[in-house]
């Protein structure tokens, strides 16, 4: 019988998992890596690269490589103009229609790009099940998680991506609910749960009530431009303002990689040795001055639930950042 998998189709990275004896397990590659970068590159000869190899091609063929496509799912051209200013790939389409992404001479919709990532996850899962000795290792059904704030158009675009990839999407589950299920809170907890999700594209919070194994979303809110990508963008803009910085697509990607590395370094220490590219270098501190990163304001609102439930907090970590695991 064909297999059902769960997929986290992320802004920065994606992964595929399955349930064994009631426990969700991430399917890893031979090197033990569970993450597939949500990056797709189309070479001049038409070869399509996905994941790590596509990520490497950002340094050599940036104009044919796309990342963070989740931000374009279910959106029109007018919705993404501000997001598109430092992307190396072409973004176009009818002003009143869907976004089209140009990679060389070819154009793709956001669901078509996402389908390449889903196919790679499908292939990884099928190889894993075959290696486990499963008689029928085909994967043709999936449950896919999406942000709780995704609207109908974005959810439909996610289903379309699954269909293009050869997957029947059995269900779309909100990421906060999926995080709570992964932690087993449906089995051992009754009460109100706050799930914080700092991802590649957003920072949001959802308030869930769980009772008798059933989750109810009471409220959700957040900032759709306060994710890892947005922090990268702020630091990139500072770097590009430095004298001598270059704006070729490949040089911008070098700066972006340096920015990401600096973020990871600052998770462990107060200051990086340097944030550098081929043309400049500078130190970056964990605690920036108020003028170095523009302030952002976010409105949060939800209705308070009546007392009588225990509250707990679940951290729903994005696969877009290195993180320390609390014991």
User: Bridge-partner residues for 3, per DSSP?
Assistant: 139
* Residue of 70, 75, 122, 263 marked active site: 70
Would you call 270 a catalytic residue per the annotation?
Answer: no
Would you call 70 a catalytic residue per the annotation?
Answer: yes
DSSP state of 306: P
Cα torsion 197, 203, 207, 212 to 10°: value is -20
Would you call 21 a catalytic residue per the annotation?
Answer: no
Contact call for residues 121 and 149 (beta carbons, < 8 A):
no
CA-CA distances (angstroms) from residue 18 to 7, 10, 51, 141, 314?
9, 17, 20, 11, 21
Contact call for residues 213 and 225 (beta carbons, < 8 A):
no
Half-sphere exposure of 75 (CA within 13 A, CB side): 18
Distance (Å, rounded) from C-alpha 76 to C-alpha 312? 38
Q: Which helix (H) or strand (E) holds 154?
A: helix 152-164
Question: Residue 105: helix, strand or coil by DSSP?
Answer: coil
CA-CA distances (angstroms) from residue 173 to 150, 234, 265, 309?
11, 31, 33, 24
Would you call 138 a catalytic residue per the annotation?
Answer: no
Which residue carries 């349930």 as its tokens? Answer: 19
Which residues touch 21 (CB under 8 Å, ≥6 apart)?
Answer: none
* Residue of 175, 204, 230, 232 marked active site: 175
Degrees to nearest 5, angle at CA 222 with 216 and 224 = 125
Distance (Å, rounded) from C-alpha 232 to C-alpha 230? 5
* Residue of 197, 204, 229, 232 marked active site: 197
- List residues with catalytic annotation: 8, 70, 175, 197
């Amino acid at each position: 019988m064909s297999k059902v998998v769960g997929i986290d189709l992320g802004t920065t990275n994606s992964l595929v998992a399955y349930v064994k004896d009631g426990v969700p397990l991430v399917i890893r590659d031979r090197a033990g890596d569970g993450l597939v970068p949500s990056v797709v590159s189309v070479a001049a000869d038409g070869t399509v690269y996905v994941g790590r190899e596509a990520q490497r091609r950002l340094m050599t063929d940036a104009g044919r490589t796309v990342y963070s496509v989740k931000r374009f799912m279910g959106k029109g051209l007018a919705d993404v103009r501000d997001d598109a200013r430092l992307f190396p790939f072409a973004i176009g389409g009818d002003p009143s229609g869907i976004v089209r992404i140009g990679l060389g001479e070819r154009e793709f919709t956001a669901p078509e790009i996402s389908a390449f990532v889903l196919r790679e996850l499908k292939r990884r899962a099928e190889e894993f099940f075959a290696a486990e000795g499963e008689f029928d290792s085909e994967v043709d059904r999936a449950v896919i998680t999406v942000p709780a704030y995704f609207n109908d158009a974005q959810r439909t675009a996610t289903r379309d991506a699954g269909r293009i990839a050869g997957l029947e999407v059995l269900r779309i589950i909100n990421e906060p609910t999926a995080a709570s299920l992964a932690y087993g809170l449906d089995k051992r907890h009754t009460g109100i749960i706050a799930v914080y999700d700092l991802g590649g594209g957003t920072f949001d919070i959802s308030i869930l009530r769980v009772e008798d194994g059933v989750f109810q979303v009471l409220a959700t809110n957040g900032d759709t431009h306060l994710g890892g990508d947005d922090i990268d963008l702020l630091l990139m803009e500072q770097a590009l303002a430095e004298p001598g910085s270059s704006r070729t697509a490949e040089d911008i990607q070098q700066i972006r990689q340096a920015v990401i590395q600096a973020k990871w370094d600052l998770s462990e220490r107060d200051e990086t040795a340097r944030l550098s590219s081929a043309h400049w270098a500078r130190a970056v501190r964990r605690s920036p001055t108020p003028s170095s990163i523009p302030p952002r304001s976010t409105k949060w609102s939800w209705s308070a639930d009546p007392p009588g439930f225990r509250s707990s907090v679940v951290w729903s970590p994005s696969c877009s950042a290195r993180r320390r695991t609390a014991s």
